[in-house]
Structure 1
Amino acid sequence: MADALKDQGNKAFAAKDYDKAIELFTQGIAIDPKNHCVAVNPSWSKGYARKGAALHGARRYDDAIAAYEAGLKVEDSPALRKGLKEVQDAKAHDAEDDNLGLGKMFADRNLLAKLAANPRTAKHLADPSFARQIQMIQQNPKLASQLLSGGDPRMIDVLGALMGVDMQGFSRPEGSDDLPEGYAKAEEPAAPPPAPKKAKTPPPPEPAAEDQDMDDEDAKAQKEATEAKKIGSEAYKKRDFEAAAAAFSKAWETWPKDITFLTNLAAVQFEQGDYDTAIATCEKAVEEGREMRADYKLVAKAYGRIGTSYSRKGDLESAIKFYQKSLTEHRTADVLNKLHDAEKQKADADRKAYLDPEKSAEAREQGNVSFKAGDFASAVKSYSEAIKRDPSDARGYNNRAAAYLKLVALPEALKDVNEAIKIDPVFVKAHIRKAHILFTMRDYTKALEAIQEAAVHDTDRKNANEIQQQENKIQHAIYSQRGTETQEETLERAMRDPEVAQIMNDPIMQSILEQAQGNPQALQDHMKNPMIRQKIQKLVNAGIIRTR
């Protein structure tokens, strides 16, 4: 039964009824799956030949070569040698074309759409024979160099279009047409290199009269549309948006094969403040562009203008979505910058929308509960939520610093307490906590400065006892650290502090210190100046000036 189906399939194949042949062969395989293929019977050389031919047709040259070589190991047949030679030649030929860049250009899936959108090449597609040639090249790009050297001037137009030559202002990149503000005109690209001279082949037959009439009609419509676009651009420059919109609408109605007419119309609608209509027009441009396989740069432009319209409406989430779609189609610096701005604005808006002092107080209280229970990690989490809800409340930072201190995360604790003091410079509890953190870090000089700053701001003396206890503790640590230091050792250690070094190198402070050596009372007089007093106190704390 399987053999009978195989015979019928062979007859259908010979009659070029390939669909019928596939059906019959498939039925035969279902009945007898062991009927030869190379997986079932690795010694079947004809199977390797057919596999190699199939892979050759798919332009998988390396796989095809491997299949032929595997077959030759089974049987040294002329068919296998011939197939191997053909695929090796094809691979070499494609490599040559790739060096010229032709294979990549003609393999573009948007090839026909690009040619249809170009005024010089669109009319050539009206010739069925020429259109078939283009389709043949698209299916097998290695034919490109052969047909380019055939002497047909229309192929030169095709090459120029694919190399990006701006024939009549078509296929401009994002922002390069004459419309929106801030968009500059694209520079004229260089002319395409001449096609290599080879033996000429007979030119294709001239199009039929009926095709020529259709070509002329399309050319006329396209010319009218181009003129309407020009009028629209001039009106746009004069900010006559009604006239511009009418002209661009007419251009699209006359020649609905170029979506730049729609994106230009959307630009006008955007300037008129009709953002919803601009979005709808650009969405239509994308839909039509997909249908006609338009240049991805034009689709990217439409997506970008949708994003800008949403941004102007204040819908930043949608703006970000369409900016990302635009960049997926074609990446430009303009759209990328707009995306970054929109993301930044959205993050700021989200942060502001999250602000809630009442919920901040609730989170801070929850943090206090966790802190008292000894769950300092949970306390950090709750205090962080309090900060997000109200970053202007210094208590959240100060409390989180206390939790970090318990976790011995000293750099994080110091950073938080500094932020608390930045928000509220007279926050006594924050200055006390800073002194505690610095003491734990064994930076006794700065710890002493911090506790002295706390004393300055404790005007009601509610924290006087705590401040005094902390200062005594710090002074004792300093005395223990410096008890055996000589004056030279003290100076060397103190000068490692950049602030101390700056004070000591200040000519004014040098003069004051020289006066103080001969007249200690002069030092007391200078300390009446708050800035001088602060610097002298710094030197006292560092041990350079000794009070006893």
Structure 2
Amino acid sequence: MAEDDAKAQGNAAFSSGDYTSAVLHYNYAISLSPTNHLLFSNRSAAHASLGHYADALSDAKKTVELKPDWEKSYSRLGAAHVGLHQFEEAVAAYTKGLEIDPSNEALRSGLADAQASLGVLLKKQEMKQRAKAEKKLGTAAYKKRDLETAIHHYSKAMEMDDEDISYITNRAATYLQMEKYKECIEDCDKVVVRSMEIGSDDKMLVARALTRKGTAFVKMAKCSKDYEPAIEAYQRALMVHHNGETLSKLKEAERVKKELERMEYIDPKIGDVERKKGNEFFEKKKYPEAIKQYTEAIKRNPKDPKAYSNRAACYNKLGAIANGLEDAEKCMGIDPKFSGGYIRKAEVELYLKEFENAMKTYVEGLQHDPNNQELLDGVKSCVEKVNKAKRGGLTPEELKERQAKGMEDPEIQSILTDPVIRQVMSDLEENPSAAQKQMKNPVIKSKIQKLISAGIVQMK
């Protein structure tokens, strides 16, 4: 019969260890004889050998259904339950089988093993409950800032249940509060390792441990290099589970590391050497090369006003006015008594045809260095240029440029919208005597003078 042949082929495959083929042969045999309990029993054994215990259990139950008075049905049922770690059910199955055949050694052995495993399971469950109780005591102590007691309870919990990594993370948090950073880091590493060993999918807990590890490294950091392991820990935490707080900690660690690197790089003696190299390039009119050296000098000594002044001079030579102005003002801020900053700022203002502003800058510099000839000459030059502008001595191109620059000034724009001023401007052209009367008002006079200085109003 085809059914017997399929069964025989299945048994042969099973005996040779080819359990997959055995299952296929038994499948065919069962399709031919769906009420044969032996076929379901054999297929249950094949599934169990493959570790497919759910399928083994299904076939074992079918075997019991078809042949409830056959002791081997319960042997199959017990074995499937054991494979699924359902030890109480396994004990019940083996016990039922022994009621049918009390002397069956396979059932006796299976029952003993299931009872032993059940005892281990019950003990494990008991220890898990005790571990949770220890954790609860530890958390209560932690909240009371009784950190040593918290450590004791979390450690006990870890001993009782090594599959719950939350106990390790809690102890790590406690060590962090105690400023025992090395112990904290060790526990954080244990969380990562143990998580992989037990196949935990709690990514948040692992990420939290890595974040805590990074924080411990930050707490211990004394120089920029010490921040590297902290940054690495934060980055790993974000790879495991993205968290805004961790990201903020990472950015702060990177910021502090960069700032420490900047500070550690400072060396005024080297800064002087770099500045002198820049001076050599400046004398040769190699301004980009000089800027590079002055920039290095500033990195080495950020409080050197000469380096900023010299770099501003280079920027001014290259027409990089915004950069020149920024360096000049930085120079003035570092050392208000150093004339170089005022001179460089005035150079920018002269370039922009802002003669009044340049004169103010020179005068401000003279307040700190009254005998500086370059500042004195600058004031004199500005006075001449301002007077020349007021006399209408500018060329058409100079006047046009000056007016355009003046119109960019928000104050000038505001003055021109004043109807009183607009009337005075009209009177200056058509009714000078009326304009002169209005000019006796100091506010009006000041505004008109502003327009004259900007080249908007021309006095004839």
- TM-score when scaled to structure 1? 0.55
Give the drift of 1:251.
0.4
Cα–Cα, structure 1 residues 408 and 495, in superposed 2: closer, same or farther, change >3 Å? closer
Question: Whole-Å Cα distance in 1 between the matches of residues 124 and 380 of structure 2?
Answer: 95
Q: Pick the aligned partner of 1:297 from 170, 181, 204.
A: 204
Q: Does the Cα contact within 8 Å between 1:435 and 1:448 map onto a contact in 2?
A: no
The share of aligned pairs that are identical, in percent, is: 31
Q: Secondary structure, in 3 states, of the residue corresponding to 1:256?
A: coil
Distance 1:401 1:319 in 2: 39
User: Deviations for 1:171-223, whole angstroms, at most 9, x for unmatched residues?
Assistant: xxxxxxxxxxxxxxxxxxxxxxxxxxxxxxx9964333333222212111111
CA–CA distance in structure 2, aligned partners of residues 231 and 471 of structure 1:
83
For 2:163 and 2:299, the matched residues in 1 are separated by 52
1:184 corresponds in structure 2 to none
- 1:232 paired with 2:138, answer yes
1:244 partner letter: A
- Which residue matches 1:394? 305
**Residue identity opposite 2:132 in structure 1:** T
The corresponding residue for 1:468 is 380
**Structure whose CA Rg is larger:** 2
Contact 2:169 2:191 in 1 (8 A): yes
Change (3 A) 1:305 1:491: closer
Q: Which moved more, 1:255-264 or 1:306-315?
A: 306-315
Q: Distance in 1 between matches of 2:183 and 2:455?
A: 75
For the pair 1:250 / 2:165, whether they are aligned, the reply is no
Q: Return the offset for 1:353.
A: 2.2
**Partner residue of 2:413?**
501
* CA distance in structure 2 between the partners assigned to 1:234 and 1:271 by the alignment: 15
Change (3 A) 1:547 1:482: farther
- What is the match of residue 362 of structure 2? 454
2:424–2:438: 8 Å Cα contact kept in structure 1?
A: no
In 1, Cα distance between equivalents of 2:206 and 2:174? 18
Q: Pick the aligned partner of 1:543 from 451, 455, 458.
A: 455
1:404-451 Cα distance to aligned partner (Å, 9 max, x none): 2333333322332233344445654333333433444xx31x244223
CA deviations on 1:441-493 (whole Å, 9 max, x unpaired) are xx31x2442234213432325222244346646776881147888xxx99897
- 1:300 maps to a residue whose letter is A
Q: 1:215 to 1:434 in 2, by over 3 A?
A: same
Q: How does 1:336-485 map to 2 (within 5 A)?
A: 336-424=247-335, 427-440=338-351, 443-444=352-353, 446-458=354-366, 459-463=370-374, 464-469=376-381, 472=384, 479-481=394-396
**Deviation of the 1:382 alpha carbon:** 0.9
Structure 1 residue 390 displacement after superposition:
2.5
Q: CA deviation at 1:246?
A: 0.7
Distance 1:419 1:311, change over 3 A: same
Structure 1 CA distance for aligned equivalents of residues 255 and 53 of structure 2: 47
CA contact (8 A) 1:421 1:427 kept: yes
Query: Alpha-carbon deviations, 1:312-370, whole Å to 9, x = none?
Result: 12243322121112112221112111111111122222222223333322221211111
Distance apart, 1:393 and its partner CA: 3.0
Q: Distance in 2 between matches of 1:373 and 1:484?
A: 35
Q: Over residues 97-152 of structure 1, what are the superposed CA-to-partner deviations in whole Å (9 max), with x where a residue is unaligned?
A: xxxxxxxxxxxxxxxxxxxxxxxxxxxxxxx97x945999xxxxxxxxxx9xx9xx
Contact 1:436/1:447 (CA < 8 Å) preserved in 2?
no
Relative to structure 1, is the Cα distance of residues 410 and 484 closer, same or farther in structure 2, using a 3 angstrom cutoff?
closer
Question: Which residue identity does 2:409 align to in structure 1?
Answer: D
CA distance in 1: counterparts of 2:268 and 2:51, whole angstroms: 71
Q: Which of 167, 174, 187 is matched with 1:268 structurally?
A: 174
Aligned residues: 351
Where 1:284 maps in the other structure, the secondary structure is helix
> Are the structure 2 counterparts of residues 134 and 257 from structure 1 closer, same or farther at C-alpha, using a change threshold of 3 Å?
farther
Given candidates 232, 242, 263, the residue that maps to 1:321 is 232
CA shift for structure 1 position 384: 0.6
Change beyond 3 A, Cα 1:275–1:492: closer
How far, CA to CA, are the matches of 1:350 and 1:362 in structure 2? 20
- Is the contact between residue 274 and residue 293 of structure 2 (CA under 8 Å) also seen in structure 1? yes
Counterpart of 2:131, as a letter, is A
**Contact 2:359–2:383 at 8 Å: present in 1 too?**
yes
The code of the aligned residue for 1:242 comes to: E
**Closer, same or farther: CA 281–418 of 1 in aligned 2, 3 Å:** same
The answer as to whether partners of 1:398 and 1:417 remain within 8 angstroms in 2 is: yes
What CA distance in whole angstroms lies between the structure 2 residues aligned with 1:283 and 1:484?
74
Unaligned runs of 5+ in 2: 1-12, 19-46, 62-76, 82-88, 91-113, 428-433
1:497: Cα distance to partner? 2.0
**Cα distance change of structure 1 residues 516 and 215 upon mapping to structure 2, 3 Å threshold:** farther
Mapped to 1, the partners of 2:364 and 2:127 lie a distance apart of 85
State the AA in 1 paired with 2:207.
A
Cα distance in 2 between the residues matched to 1:16 and 1:324:
52
Matches of 2:248 and 2:177 in 1, distance apart?
A: 20
Please tell me the root mean square deviation across aligned C-alpha atoms, in Å: 4.2
SS at match of 2:314: helix
Larger fraction in helix = 2
